[in-house]
A and B are shown apart, each in its own frame.
Chain A
Amino acid sequence: MSGKTLYDKLWEDHVVYTEDDGSSLIYIDRHLVHEVTSPQAFEGLRLAGRKPWRQSRNLAVADHNVPTTNRDKGIADPVSRLQVETLDKNCSEFGITEFGMSDARQGIVHVVGPEQGATLPGMTVVCGDSHTSTHGASGALAFGIGTSEVEHALATQCLTQKKAKNLLIKVNGKVGVGVTAKDIVLAIIGKIGTAGGNGYTIEFAGEAIQALSMEGRMTVCNMAIEAGARAGLVAVDEVTIDYYRNRPYAPKGGDWFMAERLWQQLHSDADAVFDKVVEMDAAGIKPQVTWGTSPELVVAVDEAVPDPALEPDAVKQQSMKRALEYMGLTAGQAIVDIKLDKVFIGSCTNSRIEDLRAAAKVAEGKKIAANITQALVVPGSGLVKRQAEAEGLDKIFIDAGFEWREPGCSMCLAMNADRLEEGERCASTSNRNFEGRQGYGGRTHLVSPAMAAAAAIAGHFVDVSSIEESVA
């Protein structure tokens, strides 16, 4: 019998019951809750007279609607305010721990979870948010769910699921200077497409993945969903275990040693069989820039906007033409010639301390270009913000002309006041370049934090690897 994949191990460890057709009731170790996808779930519990199965396995934080300025003045938009207040009320009524808007630990749910050790290796983690895949970086099985499943997880601490297939993406060798986790994952999506991971759990492996910090691994797993996979995974190693030691919600004392022994098993066996394997060469990955309205429409910064006429598939060709029209670009245009209006550094993909350090390194001692009307830096959590300030990163950004904001989802999806206006073009460290995502008629180019900072300084895209090589 062949060995097990990491996903097989995590799955088997959480099965409560399996139906004849293979649908299983699986146990959920951690349920994260935010304000947008939970109100109808709590209402459902109330209507049915149900209570949370195990209150302590839930943790709530408002992130999508929260303002990133003047936090003390509350939320100006009454509809957003009602949604956040509804979360506060529901958490207090159902006895669920919530980090409120004035709590230093408040932030984007996918930054807060690992930071607090509330999501840990070996867990099943769910949240009414597709970017829950982020937590797979710790060797946890983590995936996004809809509101009906949020209610189900609250009421039963379980979900009915069917096991996905195993996909291994192996990134061999080392990446070059200026190439980050974001570039790796964008290159992967460019290769396999936004539907490439549909029906699979992706395990990211190989030397280039193992060389990443936990923050970098979170960036990669965060965008597994952009490759179509609900869950992404990275095997546990010393980097993982060191990251979780002494986190507030991590096990302590004897439990820690027991956990450590258990977590060391969280890797695919050498003889494990995957349904599909994709291999990539890290050295071939350059800093990436998306040019279209789907994350798969991506090229290297030294390339040009592709020509739809060269695409043989009619449906794809149509999508490319539509994307060019929406983005206001022409085929053959060099990526470095694309001028920008705004820059956004933040989101659950790239708002951790390492991301802010990378952006600050590029911005230090420089000024944003005259054509950049706004450049935002939005830390992922109150604790990331505090750490960045302790390192003086806030001053570097402010001196360069960036705005230093309070934590939240902000302009990644523009549910608060931070957004693009119609026709504005933005270099963004977020995860989706869909039509209207960052604001009605807004145009998004997805890049790494260093690439975003470099674009803010130059006013157009530049190859950050050439800058970093000259500095080094």
Chain B
Amino acid sequence: MRAFTKITSLVVPLDRANVDTDAIIPKQFLKSIRRAGFGPYLFDEWRYLDHGEPDMDCTNRPLNTDFVLNKPEYLGAGILLARENFGCGSSREHAPWALEDFGFRAIIAPSFADIFYNNCFKNGLLPIVLPAELVDGLFKALSIGYKLTIDLEAQKIMTPEGSVMCFDVDETRKFRLLNGLDDIALSLQHADKITAYEAERAKRAPWLFSE
């Protein structure tokens, strides 16, 4: 996993509440057995005027020019500014894969759906929860070329006007993201504890271990 330390990047506003993972990456693209290559199909039904299919070449597809990701001023944006309950619905990790593959490194919203929030951390993508009024302030402050700096170590967001906003993140998640660590390797360091748990549990619920 790619580590996240500090970034300075353009911000693109997606002014909708309850953006679901079906919208982030529609179901037909979930048929892939690979982990990469979802970026071109991110927000497929909103981004294009035609109906997308897996492995379609997107270079000549008709674009919905009203959709914010298609506006030239946001080209190359690495930070997505969103509204309440971003990433609700399906658990598909294809959603953070698509966002990351498209080029996003961080998402700022007043709230996230739990599964999506958790999935982001497994993919080098930082979801930041800020109070609704601060998010609203950012939506209003956005102008062409508006960039934010996000420092994960310091847990701070710096605006171009010079103001600083602090955010919360669990220590465990922060440490793993800062260092791009493999969760499984870390958990397997506790293999002896897992084995001991199983031995103790098998006494209380033997049917779980008899198959």
Cα-based distance from A143 to B114 in the complex (angstroms): 11
- Interface footprint category on A: 35 or more
- Interface footprint category on B: 35 or more
Per-residue B-contact encoding for A186-205, CB less than 8 Å = 1, 0 else: 00000000110011000000
- CB of A40 within 8 A of chain B? yes
Query: Which residues of A in the span 211-270 have a Cβ within 8 Å of any Cβ on B?
Result: 225, 228-230, 249-252, 255, 258-259, 262
Give the A-binding residues of B (Cβ under 8 A). 15-18, 20, 22-23, 26-28, 30-35, 45, 51, 54-55, 83-85, 88-93, 96, 111-115, 118-119, 122-123, 170-173, 183-184, 187-188, 190-191, 193-194, 197-198, 201, 204-208, 210-211
Known: A23-B172, A146-B118, A157-B194. A195 touches B35 (CB 8 A): no
- CB of A92 within 8 A of chain B? no
Cα-based distance from A82 to B112 in the complex (angstroms): 33
Interchain CB contact under 8 A, A315 and B84: yes
Q: Which of A130, A160, A259 contacts B90 (CB 8 A)?
A: A130
B208 to chain A, nearest CB (A): 6
- CB of A437 within 8 A of chain B? yes
Cα-based distance from A128 to B119 in the complex (angstroms): 11
- CB of A162 within 8 A of chain B? yes
Interchain CB contact under 8 A, B88 and A80: no
Known: A434-B20, A434-B23. A262 touches B198 (CB 8 A): no
Q: Which of B17, B111, B171 contacts A316 (CB 8 A)?
A: B17
Contact sample, A vs B, 27 pairs, CB 8 Å cutoff: A16-B190, A27-B194, A27-B198, A39-B33, A39-B34, A82-B33, A83-B32, A122-B205, A130-B89, A130-B115, A145-B118, A146-B93, A148-B183, A149-B119, A156-B191, A156-B194, A162-B170, A194-B88, A195-B88, A198-B112, A225-B89, A230-B114, A294-B18, A318-B16, A434-B89, A436-B45, A437-B27
* Complex interface: chain A residues within 8 A of B194 (CB): 16, 25, 27, 53, 156-158
Question: Can you list the 7 inter-chain pairs with the closest CB atoms, starting with the nearest?
Answer: A146-B93, A251-B207, A148-B122, A39-B33, A146-B119, A195-B85, A21-B171
* Residue on B nearest A130 in the bound complex, by CB: B91
Interchain CB contact under 8 A, B18 and A198: no
Interchain CB contact under 8 A, B201 and A434: no
* Residue on B nearest A159 in the bound complex, by CB: B187
Interchain CB contact under 8 A, A319 and B183: no
Q: Which of B34, B123, B197 contacts A148 (CB 8 A)?
A: B123
Known: A151-B184, A440-B51. A230 touches B115 (CB 8 A): yes
Cα-based distance from A415 to B30 in the complex (angstroms): 8
Interchain CB contact under 8 A, B85 and A40: no
* Complex interface: chain A residues within 8 A of B210 (CB): 255
Interchain CB contact under 8 A, B183 and A160: yes
- CB of A448 within 8 A of chain B? no
Interchain CB contact under 8 A, A152 and B31: no
Interchain CB contact under 8 A, B88 and A149: no
Q: Which of B28, B51, B54, B198 has the most CB of A within 10 A?
A: B28
Interchain CB contact under 8 A, A29 and B83: no
A105 to chain B, nearest CB (A): 16
Cα-based distance from A36 to B31 in the complex (angstroms): 6
- CB of A46 within 8 A of chain B? no
Cα-based distance from A83 to B93 in the complex (angstroms): 16
